Amino acid sequence: MENPRPPLPPFDLDTAAKKARAAEDAWNSRDPARVAAAYTPDSRWRNRAEFFAGREAIEAFMTRKYARELDYRLIKEVWAASGHRIAVRFAYEWRDDSGNWFRSHGNEQWEFDANGYMQRREASINDVPIREADRKFHWPAPGARPAEHPGLSELGL
């Protein structure tokens, strides 16, 4: 049995926002093992058109993602929360190895076990090319978004 990972379900908007911020901080660390540790050992994922399960597969996916999506910076915002489920919307900015910038917009549905580990993640994502001058996510990377940096709603996204 793994140690609980608070906040635990059932979620309200406040505890869901804390869970979403913890996920955002982990993803912004660009540490695949740290990200994978938040999921159940048999967690099921859909990311765009990829389907896989388990922490090992999650860590491998994140390793590929961070190698392809350079200068990655992510912001998540809770859309809804009820019981052991949270829905978030997110955007992240990144560049490819040719220097082309993108802002990726998406929605995720999360389902948690009683100990606060994510057991299911469904993500739909669209990539939009942007000019470097149009970037909105500015903080040192890798690393967590500073508390004073605006969120998605404040940025008009």
Confidence at residue 81, expressed as pLDDT on a 0 to 100 scale = 98
Average pLDDT on 109-119 reads 98
* 2: exposed, middle or buried (Cβ count in 10 Å: 0-12, 13-18, 19+): exposed
Checking if the pLDDT of 131 tops 70, the result is: yes
* Residue 72: closest CA among 139, 154, 151: 139
Q: What is the pTM of this model?
A: 0.96
Confidence at residue 2, expressed as pLDDT on a 0 to 100 scale = 84
Average pLDDT on 130-142 reads 97
**In a 3-state reduction of DSSP, which class is residue 61?**
helix
Residues in the chain: 157
Checking if the pLDDT of 74 tops 70, the result is: yes
Kindly indicate whether the domain formed by 13-134 is annotated with CATH number 3.10.450.50.
yes
**What would the pLDDT profile of 47-71 be if each residue is shown by its tens digit?**
999 999 999 999 999 999 999 999 9
Average pLDDT on 89-114 reads 98
